[in-house]
Structure 1
Amino acid sequence: MSLHVIVGGGATGVATAQLLAGRGEQVRIVTRRGSGPEHPAIERIAADATDSDRLGALAEGATALYNCANPQYHRWLTDWPPLASSFLTAAERSGATLVTLSCLYGYGPVDGPMTEETPLAATHPKLRMRADMWRDALSAHRAGRIRATEVRASDYLQANSILTFALGEPLLAGRRAYSPVPLDQPHSWTSINDVASILATAAGDERAWGKAWHVPTTAPLTVRELATRFTEASGLPAPKLTTIPRPALWATGLFSPMVRELRTTRYQFDRPFVLDSSAATRTFGLRPEPIDDALRETARLLSPAVPRGAGTASAAATSS
């Protein structure tokens, strides 16, 4: 039984902790408030992950240190630098393999499917930051100071997804749903369960170290297709969908930092945004969870909060 230290109590951190605990591993999950799933093999610790001395002590003797932290998106430029620095220091002091969960932002706008060889060409400061975090970790790995690997996921299917923050509740209630992004561009969607699976794999497989990997992800779907599969998996009628006009969305951003930040990543939905995860499948034998299973899980997560016959809709939206 090995010790695994996971920083972050969001959906991915929790899923990874539960997967490892279910395999008989010892897990220490670190959050600011000491939150996390209840399990005999999971120890919940309250700590500030920017404190490298504390984080290094918590990771002492661990097989792996997982960066599943998730600062609020509008605070990335402030919150990520001290966190990233702390992870590098803690990994070097403890000897734990640093396993970072990242995203596709570092590639910037692309003209074809993204592979791990796609250049990290983002120029926007917030997007370039994720690329720079990997460059710093890879430099430390090549210098022999740490062992490091990075896992990159596309937009999630379950928690923190377009379904959970915009479309899912109204669709489950049989109402029209309003999308903040265009409906008909192909887009890759990643299951959080597949994130957990490759994080746990990459931590213990030397073939993963010193490289970045894409999470095994199903074939791309447009938002319209995703919503249709979601309603079909839930045994519901075909979805009624409307795109929120860009001026209305931008106006909402005057009052909501999170909505305002959608401007930075709008490019991901204005053109095909496709993740090629074949390298992870070839190397580790990992295959993505069937998308309908992930969508049924999403519906279960949402259903307790949705009284049938009730729905939500944006007053700023207009029908298309």
Structure 2
Amino acid sequence: MTDHVILGKGQIGSTVASILAARGERVRVLSRSGGPDLPGIEHIKVDARDAAALTAAAKGADVIYNCANPAGYHQWADEWPPMFAAILAAAKNNGAGLVNTGNLYVYGPVTEPMTERTPLNSPGHKGRIRIRMWNDAMALHRSGDIRFTEARGSDYFGPGALADAMLGERVVRPVVEGKGVTVFGDPDAPHTFTYIPDVARALIRLGGDDRAWGRPWHVPSAPAASQREMVQAMARLLGRGPVRVTRLPWWLLIHVVGAFAPAMKGMTETRHQWDGPYIMESGEFTDTFGDEPTDTDTALAETLDWWRARLAR
């Protein structure tokens, strides 16, 4: 039986844990707040910035899945360096493979669809932090100290995605409630969205296949669709007519919303993702491992079911 350790109990980490537990694997979830144990899942409270404590909590791990993230963009500079250093130490000291949950910030503004070979040229602060994390981990991989790989997805959506997802509470909830939707950027620009269960399945696949180590992989994701198309698809699945979609000006986000929500100011660094086409290719993952992305209608239907159940409580 493989010993799996998951860092973080957000929507991705929790989904990874549930899938593995259903397979009868040993699963430990490490998080800052801990929590009650669930069938097949042990929860442990630990500060991921404490290398010694994290190493001890992960003792015996065969694979570590990093699904943790600082609470907000404004905390990345302070939180990520000590936290990722501790994660690398835990993997090295336990002889565990490390599968990191990444994103596309490392690429920065692009004009072509992104592949795993797109240069890491992000000029932004958050993108540079992610690039340093990648470089630090790969240095240890090349030296033989750890086995490392990273699953990169575009903007995540699905069951459990709330305020921290662009296609989360701010968009899906009003559609379910029959209201209009306000979006950032160009509502008609094609955009790749990545379904959370597909992210979880990709992480597990990478952690269990020796072909995965030493390079990044793009999570299988359905063909790009605009924000407007995603909203109208949800309305169609709910049996409703078109939803009114309006655009939130960036100046309002920066100067008004950002004054009360510091994390939202960080959106300005990634506005290129929403002002024009933002497309990620993931065919290499499918060609190598055989995993296909969940089709958009199925993913949206499952997301809507989760939201309706949540709102009915």
| Contact in 2 for aligned 1:154/1:190 (Cα 8 Å) | yes
Alignment correspondent of 1:48: 47
- Cα offset for 1:306? 4.4
Alignment correspondent of 1:78: 78
* RMSD value, Cα: 1.4
2:28 is matched by which residue type in structure 1?
Answer: R
CA distance in 2, matches of 1:187, 1:281: 19
Alignment correspondent of 1:301: 306
Alignment correspondent of 1:310: none
Alignment correspondent of 1:287: 292
SS at match of 2:223: coil
CA distance in 1, matches of 2:296, 2:8: 25
CA distance in 2, matches of 1:195, 1:58: 24
CA distance in 1, matches of 2:91, 2:100: 11
Match of 2:192 among 188, 192, 213: 188
Alignment correspondent of 1:69: 68
User: 4+ residue stretches of structure 1 with deviation over 6 A?
Assistant: none
2:298 is matched by which residue type in structure 1?
Answer: D
Q: In the TM superposition, what are the counterparts of 1:185-264 in structure 2 within 5 Å?
A: 185-250=189-254, 251-264=256-269
Residues 138-197 of structure 1: per-residue CA shift (max 9 Å, x gap): 110000011111110110122142232311122112221111232011100000000011
- Cα offset for 1:305? 5.2
2:45 is matched by which residue type in structure 1?
Answer: A
**Bigger mean CA offset, 206-215 vs 295-304:** 295-304
Alignment correspondent of 1:91: 91
Alignment correspondent of 2:25: 25
- Cα offset for 1:304? 4.2
CA distance in 1, matches of 2:42, 2:290: 30
CA distance in 1, matches of 2:285, 2:41: 27
CA distance in 1, matches of 2:165, 2:262: 17
CA distance in 2, matches of 1:303, 1:260: 30
Alignment correspondent of 1:315: none
SS at match of 1:162: coil
* Structure 1: 5+ residue stretches without partners: 308-320
TM-score when normalising by structure 2: 0.94
**Bigger mean CA offset, 107-116 vs 290-299:** 290-299
CA distance in 2, matches of 1:297, 1:89: 38
CA distance in 2, matches of 1:305, 1:24: 28
1:41 is matched by which residue type in structure 2?
Answer: G
| Contact in 2 for aligned 1:60/1:96 (Cα 8 Å) | no
CA distance in 2, matches of 1:129, 1:299: 34
**Bigger mean CA offset, 264-273 vs 158-167:** 158-167
SS at match of 1:43: strand
Match of 2:172 among 149, 168, 173: 168
TM-score when normalising by structure 1: 0.92
| Contact in 1 for aligned 2:46/2:57 (Cα 8 Å) | no
Alignment correspondent of 1:142: 142
SS at match of 2:30: strand
Alignment correspondent of 2:272: 267
| Contact in 2 for aligned 1:99/1:150 (Cα 8 Å) | yes
**Bigger mean CA offset, 129-138 vs 48-57:** 48-57
CA distance in 1, matches of 2:35, 2:102: 22
- CA shift in 2, pair 1:157/1:46, >3 Å: same
CA distance in 1, matches of 2:117, 2:265: 31
